[in-house]
Amino acid sequence: MSDLYIGGFHAVMAALEDGDRKPFEILLADTRQDERARRLLALAREHSVPVRTVSRSDLDMKAPPDLRHQGVLALIPEKEFVGEDALDAPASPSRLFLALDGVQDPHNLGACLRTAEAVGATAIIIPKDRSASLTAVALKAAAGSAERVPVIAVTNLSRTLERLKERGYWLTGLAGEAEQTLFEADLTGPLVLIMGAEGAGMRRLTREHCDHLVRIPMMGKIESLNVSVAAAVCLYEAFRQRQKR
């Protein structure tokens, strides 16, 4: 296991408060002397994590590419995925998984984690290969949710979906050409919501495992939504139906 720098106040504070991998140290820009920085310093002292004040240029040099660090970085152990045995629990009506079939953009993975936490989803399932991983960019986009929502990386997504189906889960995939709309579908009970990759959508084998295909109804000329936006719409419709039920 290697270490990595994560950035952003939400992600760093979640690592301090909720994470099972406390930071080795925190680097704070010498220009940050605001209330947010003071809360972070107090929390770091509470958890006995050292904080070093450095220049913003030093932070820029240490930050991973494409990471907007907001003036704070934390060095933490690389986050491990949850093992596939987490899928062996009985298929109770409250369990809701989000499966991402080859989503490549770490921003999208992070945004999906954020929504998954908001609706109380059980976990997110991703394939180990050809998928965005829990990089610093994904953790920043997740705004702390990566510390609270399990991410299960599976060797073969198609076999995993078949296994969940045998255990009593209903599999609902999002497809733009589906006849049934999201709002017509029953999204209660043990459920796996499946989103395809950016642009390409679900792979053929993934699609074949679905019990239902649904589409998000849209007006205007737009043809599709960003995958993390589509996931948010679907997760919240499932949340609405489950609250009502």
Backbone angles phi and psi of 190, in degrees to 5? -65, 120
Banded pLDDT at 56 (limits 50, 70, 90): very high
Which positions ≥6 away from 198 have C-beta within 8 Å? 103, 104, 105, 108, 226, 227
Predicted structure pTM score:
0.84
Domains of the chain: 3-77 (3.30.1330.30), 84-244 (3.40.1280.10)
Question: For strand 96-101 and strand 123-127, is the pairing parallel, antiparallel, or unpaired?
Answer: parallel
As given in the structure block, the two tokens for residue 3 are: 């270490």
Does 1 score more than 60 pLDDT? no
Mean pLDDT in the chain? Answer: 91
Q: Are 192 and 141 in contact (CB under 8 A)?
A: no
pLDDT tens column, 195-206: 998 888 899 999
Question: Of residues 1 and 212, which shows the higher confidence score?
Answer: 212
pLDDT tens column, 206-240: 999 999 999 999 887 777 789 999 999 999 999 99
Mean pLDDT calculated for residue range 181-199: 94
